[in-house]
Structure 1
Amino acid sequence: MSAAVAPLGSACENNAGADHAGVFPHAGFVFMNPWPIAVPAVAAAAAGVAAWGAMAPGAQLFGPTVRRTGRGNTLALTFDDGPNPAITPRLLDLLEQHHARATFFLIGRFVRACPELVREITARSHLVGNHTDTHPNLIWLSSARIAEELERCGESIAEATGRVAQWMRPPYGFRGPHLQPVVRGQGYRGVVMWSVIAYDWKPQPSARLIARLRRVRGGDIVVLHDGDHRALGGARQHTVGALEFWLPRWRDAGLEFVTIDGVAGEVSASAPATRQGGKN
């Protein structure tokens, strides 16, 4: 059995000259204050959890998201950062050729630049969603700024199409604690993430993207890009090339192409241009 430890008060009195580490010579050990170590460790862990919740596609820390179709015989293709006059028309033709419907998450400033193209997207029975007005990182924005981004994009979509976007996707997939209350407050049905990301936002050989999309399975929501958030006319030919390869193969595998409306509810198209409880 180890030597008895002197009462704390006695040790403090007998070692009045000792430093604040609290040395106990009679006990044979040194007592160290754990707080200088524990507090930073806890803070680091909390920061790690918050970062995961903000950036991981499957995280639900800051509210529920949609990231799978829920049915193994379906596939939801989604396209971000359009409309893009250099690519979106080709993509629409390709999707029509293979009887595939998709969801396009649009940037508001590009909607205002290309309203006819947005109308063409909806005329071909595709769904449009809100990808904010200027594509900022929403983690760093206040609730008021997030609301402004969603409102301006939503208004632009409604003006172009006569319909209101029911879903939104945060730029970069980043979301913080302010996002979900704004989304619900403006009447959106929810936040859409993904289960497969193609990493196609940089120009690359189509063969590389084809290989990356081999992991797509039934039930996935796939995020691709028909535009570049920095400017209109972004080079996305590699995305079209990869889909030329995969669309007939996915169809032959028995997969049904669905929009996010088809994944998450009974609404089959964007709703008419009225939204209860939110400006649009």
Structure 2
Amino acid sequence: MSISSRRTFLSTLGAAALTLPSAASATTPVIALPRDAGRGDAATIMAVRTPSPVVALTFDDGPHPTLTPHLLDLLRARRLRATFYLIGNRVVQWPDIVRRIASEGHEIGNHSWSHPVLSKLSDAAVRDEIDRTSDAIWRVTGRPPVTFRPPYGAFTQRQRHALLESRKLPTVLWSVDPQDWRRPGAQAVASRILNGSRPGAIILSHDIQRGTVAAMPQTLDGLAARGLKCGTVSQMLGWPLWQDRRFRRVAG
């Protein structure tokens, strides 16, 4: 589903505040939505249709050893939750930051093990990238991710359906892209996010980019000034808070 319908946003958002890889190079693929996204695809989520004034801030490619903790400080000060799509090899490198993300009420999603262009890999290689990352997140936090975001958005419709069928992981893309990986500066990142945000928006950003983290105070305060609250992807979908879900590990 390109836009996932739901009747109401979780009551935890209510009227009150919530409680609580390297830089792109010339050879880096352009981050773009797949051409077949947004065509009633049940395996794909780009935004959420909701009457509630809520958005989902999502941060890709972390954790970063210094920028992610600073971002977490900003979110904690405002009592906001976000979703972090983490790279598996960074999860095992900085497990303490990953545990902090989870303990402060944020959601963790799967962003592959090594950030490859998955649409060019074999099915077995794709499964390995995703399964290694889910296992790493499980080992560090005690729970697996429940959504997946492909690096660069490069994931075919066939791959998205296969992942949903085999691993029960929907692919979460985005509806707002500030192109922060191009390093346009903090002011441009904040302006692009604020100008593009609507109720139900899923906002793409990267907490490995210094300019993105620098843009967050203006972005977060600007969203609040417009009456938009921030929640996790699971909350936007009407699912239980990620930390409240109970999982049973199956061998094999």
TM-score bracket for the superposition, by shorter chain length: 0.7 to 0.9
Measured in 2, the distance between the counterparts of 1:179 and 1:266 equals 20
Asked whether the 8 Å contact 1:83–1:106 carries over to 2, the reply is yes
1:12-161 matches, cutoff 5 A: 55-56=34-35, 58-60=37-39, 64-72=43-51, 73-161=53-141
**1:186 is matched with which residue: 167, 177, 181?**
167
Q: Deviations over 1:111-150 (max 9, x none)?
A: 0100110000000000000001011111111211111111
Matched to 2:43, the amino acid is P
Q: Deviations over 1:60-84 (max 9, x none)?
A: 4875311113224111000000011
Asked whether the 8 Å contact 1:70–1:219 carries over to 2, the reply is yes
Measured in 2, the distance between the counterparts of 1:172 and 1:207 equals 23
Asked whether the 8 Å contact 1:57–1:194 carries over to 2, the reply is no
Match of 1:265 in 2: 238
Q: Are 1:166 and 2:146 an aligned pair?
A: yes
Matched to 2:191, the amino acid is A
Measured in 1, the distance between the counterparts of 2:115 and 2:164 equals 16
Measured in 2, the distance between the counterparts of 1:61 and 1:171 equals 22
Q: Deviations over 1:178-224 (max 9, x none)?
A: 34213431232x11011001111133321222232222222211000
Measured in 2, the distance between the counterparts of 1:58 and 1:98 equals 33
Match of 2:248 in 1: 274
Q: Which 5+ residue runs of structure 2 have no aligned equivalent? A: 1-31
Q: Are 1:222 and 2:203 an aligned pair?
A: yes
Measured in 2, the distance between the counterparts of 1:54 and 1:255 equals 24
Asked whether the 8 Å contact 2:44–2:160 carries over to 1, the reply is no
Q: Deviations over 1:77-96 (max 9, x none)?
A: 00000011121001001111
- Shift, 1:267, TM fit: 1.4
Q: In 2 relative to 1, CA 141–54 (structure 1 residues): closer, same or farther, beyond 3 Å?
A: farther
Asked whether the 8 Å contact 1:57–1:173 carries over to 2, the reply is no
Which structure would you say has the larger RCO, counting Cα contacts within 8 Å and 6 or more residues apart? 2
Q: In 2 relative to 1, CA 266–92 (structure 1 residues): closer, same or farther, beyond 3 Å?
A: same
Asked whether the 8 Å contact 1:69–1:76 carries over to 2, the reply is no
Asked whether the 8 Å contact 1:106–1:129 carries over to 2, the reply is yes
Measured in 1, the distance between the counterparts of 2:129 and 2:77 equals 34
Bigger Cα displacement from structure 2, 172-181 vs 108-117: 172-181
Number of residues of Structure 1 aligned to a counterpart in Structure 2: 217
Q: In 2 relative to 1, CA 123–110 (structure 1 residues): closer, same or farther, beyond 3 Å?
A: same
Bigger Cα displacement from structure 2, 63-72 vs 98-107: 63-72
Bigger Cα displacement from structure 2, 160-169 vs 202-211: 202-211
Matched to 1:115, the amino acid is P
Q: Are 1:238 and 2:211 an aligned pair?
A: yes
Q: In 2 relative to 1, CA 57–249 (structure 1 residues): closer, same or farther, beyond 3 Å?
A: farther
Q: Percent identity?
A: 33
Aligned residues: CA RMSD: 2.2
Q: In 2 relative to 1, CA 134–191 (structure 1 residues): closer, same or farther, beyond 3 Å?
A: same
Matched to 2:190, the amino acid is I
TM, length-normalised to structure 2: 0.79
Q: Which 5+ residue runs of structure 1 have no aligned equivalent? A: 1-52, 228-235
Asked whether the 8 Å contact 1:162–1:272 carries over to 2, the reply is no
